[in-house]
Amino acid sequence: MHKKIRYSIMCGLTAATVVLSPVTASFAHSLEHDLTDEIHIEIGSEGPEVLALKEALILLGYELDQENDYFDEETEEIVKLLQELNELEITGTVDEEFFLFILNEVEQLIEDASADDENEPVGEASENNSENSLEDANQQEGINEKEATPSEESTEQEQALHDDAAENQEPAQETSEENSPEELLEEATEQTSVQALADDVLQQGDRDPRVIDLKIHLEIMGFKVSNTPNEYFGPVTTTKVKEFQGAYNLEVTGKADAITLSTLSELANGPLQQGMYRADAVDLKINLEKIGYAVSSNPNTYFGPITARQLKAFQSAYGLTADGIVNTETLITLQYAVDNRLSLGMNDPRVIDLKVQLEIVGFRVSNNPNGNYGPITAAKVSEFQAEYGLRVTGIADPLTQDRLNELATVPLEQGMYRADVVDLKINLEKIGYAVSSNPTTYYGPMTASQVRAFQSAYGLTADGIADKETIEKLQDAVANRLYLGINDTRVIDLKKNLEVLGFQVSSNPNGNYGPITESMVKEFQANYGLRVTGIADPLTQNRLDELANGPLQQGMYRADVVDLKLKLAKAGYGVSTNPTIFFGSMTASQVRAFQENYGLPVTGIADQPTLQKLQEVIAASSKTFFIEGKTSFGHGVGMTQNGAYGMAQQGKTYEEILTYYYTGVTVGTDSRYTDGEIRVGLTLETPSVTVSNTSLYSVEDRETGEVLLSNATTSTEISYDEGTFTIKIGNKTVTTENGVKLSGGTFLYKNNRYKGDFHFVPSHSNFEMMDVVNYVDVETYLQGVVPYEMYVSWGEIEAFKAQAIASRTYAWRNINSFRSRTFDVYDSVRSQVYNGIPQGLYNNSIVNQAIVETKDIVIKYGNTLIDAVYSASASGHTVNSEDVWPNSVPYLRGKPDPYDQSSYTRVSWDYTFDLNDLSNMAAFKGNGKGRIIDLEFQTRNDRLYGVTVIFENGMETMTASAFRSAVGTTNLRSTIMTITEVNNQK
């Protein structure tokens, strides 16, 4: 059934009302529309019926956007409110019946307004005065206030007219003859306002700037007075104040007293909540929409129930008190969520991580994730949110990101798809728990099974979950495994251990893990109940090491089996005259016999109690020697550089250092040893060399002084062949049969720089070759010696001074000492290390200062320069010259060196042996003198120089070197030692 209704809505002002009336020619606006039984207006509806509905709602006092014909969320909220007020079903939609209901309400409003016009009170003022008064009231209060209904506006206007009329009827005695009615009205209004200010109460009739704030606050709280609030407190304001007071349980007076004003201000300026109209409600709705809690596509200032509902949902999701009130905590949390969200259209590096983590948990976006948040990403985020009970928005808000990160980084377990599953499978395979030859990101039942097997083998909880402990244990196993194809020094120990237990790989084990090693590992694993993989994982290695290094027993091949057999022989339980490393049945039999005779458990295993008892039996009749030895660094004669450093650290002077290490010497200057030149052999017996210079230099005939080439600037090539020197500089070539001399500037030779002259002369030891000799001032020479002989990092100037004086003395002593040679000293440790001009760190200011401050100072014994030899360390005690060289020198005497704190002063090896051990050594055995019954050691300065070996039938005197060879240089690693006789123990 169709009904055709023609109606019009006119918004026009009369003296007292806003009218909705039937169609006539004078109406300002009209609308015609067909209504059917099927009319249904809801969110998203649009058209003329929506526009008509909005205009009707506006006339009923509701604020709406009248510029469009779209039924939005704001309109829906008002429809729901109207349904609730009239106790109708709250649907938020409008059908034909409810639409007609609304029109009837508007029609009733018109009738009420008409009745008010007819009953308008008439005072003593004239009709013209009444109209003027009404116009004034309208200007004061604002007749276009959308919050008030038409009936409320009419009433307020009539009341204003009535009030104006009453105010114009002031008593005659209060008014001077000159006052007009208008002046009387203004005076009365001012008096009323002054009184209100004095009482701090705003009430009807007042004019006060605070009234503007009052009206604004009332509007915020949903009690709107006017679109253009002014300072006048009119009847509409009174009505709205009463409504506010009633709503908030205040005394209903219509007067804005201090309590009312304070309560209103506190609420209006407090946190946003339902019912408010405030600008920041727009920002709130926008931000809520950004993180998936949309309120309206066209957000306004009204804080309605939908806004409250969405806010509560946000608060609940983010762990806040879900009260729908926008407190500080809610605002901060909301802003954080907005700032940290990722959403459609964004391009952000964080999106890459988001996509990676989505793929990890099974929601793959792309093979090559980038920072673009596109529709596929949004769809996958929505799928993830749905899967894990999150709000499905397609927006990666912080809650979504946190949950995703939590799931993507949790321990791997069955059912997951994650990139690190591939690494897990690869590592499992590396230690013999293969899953697949083509590992994927899927963590399936096979992977879980292999993880459980690994966990069980390594003593972990076998739950199939690759937690942190499992991953770390797996990575450790992979890092420490040995496997086919690897070449590692640890493989040598592996092979030795396998051999000890009877699984020999090679007689000469190396670091290569080949097929035979793999096969032997498999046999060992099978024999001892391990997982048979051929891979020597940590479990295999540990078990192998435990067995191979455990108590000796039958079947083993181990070096200490020889020692066991020798000890058994000493104790009277001989196994073989030629003991081997194999622990066979005969050895086991003798061990059992020994154990039985000495009351030990008879096992045939050479455990610790058995070995200890065996030792006790042997020691009862054996002399034992314990040797502690040190390694050497230098000949140990004269000053030690480490000792000089230690003395300097203790505050000793260079003179105290030198007189300590060189016995009976004096330290001072001597006019015979100043401003000298030394010849340093740089290269000996060479056919040709190349020398360059940093400035101009000349080439001379060494014998005649003739300048062969002058002002040379490039490299010089000098060769010597059949008695002729050939010099080439660029395109110039000259020859001479005499030696060659280069002088001037600084020479660059073999990456070193040198001062002084370069001489090229026939070699003294091979006349077919030439020697390269640097002629340089002694003090300059020292600059190239001291920093290379003593660590510049030591930084002890007194030590550097001692070194400079020793080196200077050594240099002067060797000048012209070897007439047959073309040079005085070598540039190496054969004399002193010399590298020319010190470079880099070696160019040290403290070293240079030490050389300058000790200029011309030398060391003498009597009136003769000493041979100032020195070495890095004497291992705690220097030695006599005759202990190293043929001659005994009075000032080169051995003495303790407690100042040397280097590693060479500490014991670095030890060795223990008894006379039975020596008697059984090849060097002493079979010489016809019987067993060794004693030893006599010749030692001094903590060194061994000779040994007298006493046999049953005679004796033999041996040098320290010969004794070391007999006992074994791996046992006695040097002759620097202390020897202690230890009775009854070894």
| DSSP notation for 55-85 | HHHHHTT-----S--B--HHHHHHHHHHHHH
Q: In degrees to the nearest 10, what's the CA dihedral of 856, 861, 865, 870?
A: -90
Sequence-distant (≥ 6) Cβ neighbours of residue 256 within 8 angstroms: 201, 202, 203, 214, 233, 241, 264
Pairing of strands 977-983, 623-629: antiparallel
Sequence-distant (≥ 6) Cβ neighbours of residue 97 within 8 angstroms: none
Cα–Cα distance for residue pair 943/974, rounded to 1 Å = 9
Q: Helix crossing, 445-457 with 468-480: angle to 10°?
A: 70
Which of these, 57, 85, 226, 202, lies nearest to 153 by C-alpha position? 226
Residue 981 burial by Cβ neighbours in a 10 Å radius (0-12, 13-18, 19+): exposed
Considering Cα of 545, then 551, then 554, then 556, what sign does the dihedral take? positive
**79 backbone dihedrals φ, ψ, rounded to 5°:** -60, -45
Q: How many Cβ atoms from other residues are within 10 Å of residue 658's Cβ?
A: 26
Asked if residue 630 lies in contact with residue 941, where contact means CB atoms within 8 angstroms, the answer is no
Which of these, 12, 236, 62, lies nearest to 140 by C-alpha position? 236
Tokens of residue 33, six digits? 């529309």
Q: Provide the residue type at 60 as one letter.
A: L
For residue 112, what pLDDT is reported? 55
Place of tokens 């209006």: 268
Cα–Cα distance for residue pair 461/469, rounded to 1 Å = 10
DSSP codes of every residue in 876-903:
TB-B-GGGTSSS--TT----B-TT--SG
- Cα separations (Å) of 293 from 21, 288, 305, 311, 380? 43, 5, 13, 8, 19
Could you tell me the maximum CA-CA distance found in the chain, to the nearest angstrom?
166
Asked if residue 636 lies in contact with residue 878, where contact means CB atoms within 8 angstroms, the answer is yes
- Cα separations (Å) of 389 from 83, 365, 412, 663? 34, 20, 21, 92
Asked if residue 907 lies in contact with residue 920, where contact means CB atoms within 8 angstroms, the answer is no
The length of the chain is: 986
Mean pLDDT by 10 residues, the chain (986 residues): 36 33 35 54 88 85 77 87 77 87 76 46 37 37 34 39 37 39 44 49 93 91 89 91 92 94 89 89 93 90 92 94 94 95 95 91 90 95 94 95 89 84 92 92 93 94 93 93 94 91 90 95 92 93 89 87 88 83 92 88 94 75 82 90 96 97 96 94 96 91 91 90 92 92 93 95 90 97 97 96 97 90 94 96 96 96 96 94 93 95 91 86 82 86 91 86 92 91 62
Radius of gyration for the chain, computed over Cα atoms and rounded to the nearest angstrom: 56
Asked if residue 655 lies in contact with residue 884, where contact means CB atoms within 8 angstroms, the answer is no
**Long-range contacts of range 945-952, CB-CB < 8 Å, 24 or more positions apart?**
945/883, 945/975, 949/918, 949/924, 951/924, 951/927
Tokens of residue 372, six digits? 């673009």
Cα–Cα distance for residue pair 986/983, rounded to 1 Å = 8
Pairing of strands 666-669, 697-701: unpaired
Cα–Cα distance for residue pair 252/246, rounded to 1 Å = 6
Q: How many Cβ atoms from other residues are within 10 Å of residue 529's Cβ?
A: 8
Categorise residue 258: left if φ over 0, alpha if ψ from -120 to 50, beta otherwise: alpha
For residue 372, what pLDDT is reported? 96
Q: Helix crossing, 445-457 with 420-430: angle to 10°?
A: 50
DSSP codes of every residue in 589-647:
HHHHHHHHHTT----S-B-HHHHHHHHHHHHTT-EEEEEEE---BS--BSEEHHHHHHH
Strand order from edge to edge, sheet including 697-701: 707-712, 697-701, 740-743, 757-762, 770-777, 677-686, 825-826
- Cα separations (Å) of 116 from 16, 141, 167, 650? 8, 19, 22, 116
Cα–Cα distance for residue pair 484/519, rounded to 1 Å = 10
Angle at 687 between CA 681 and CA 693, to 5 degrees: 60
Cα–Cα distance for residue pair 41/56, rounded to 1 Å = 14
Cα–Cα distance for residue pair 373/371, rounded to 1 Å = 7
> Half-sphere exposure of residue 329, counting CA atoms within 13 Å on the CB side?
11
Cα–Cα distance for residue pair 101/83, rounded to 1 Å = 10
- Cα separations (Å) of 238 from 234, 235, 920? 6, 5, 126
**Long-range contacts of range 104-112, CB-CB < 8 Å, 24 or more positions apart?**
105/56, 105/60, 106/9, 106/20, 106/56, 106/59, 106/60, 107/20, 109/20, 109/59, 109/60, 109/149, 109/150, 109/151, 110/19, 110/20, 110/21, 110/150, 112/150, 112/151, 112/154
Cα–Cα distance for residue pair 376/369, rounded to 1 Å = 11
Tokens of residue 946, six digits? 């000779």
Which of these, 505, 556, 317, 45, lies nearest to 564 by C-alpha position? 556
| C-alpha 464, offset from chain centre | 30
Termini Cα distance of the chain: 123
Q: Strands, E, within 670-828: which ranges?
A: 677-686, 688-693, 697-701, 707-712, 716-721, 724-729, 732-736, 740-743, 747-749, 752-754, 757-762, 770-777, 825-826
For residue 765, what pLDDT is reported? 83
Cα–Cα distance for residue pair 463/404, rounded to 1 Å = 24
Tokens of residue 265, six digits? 């201000």
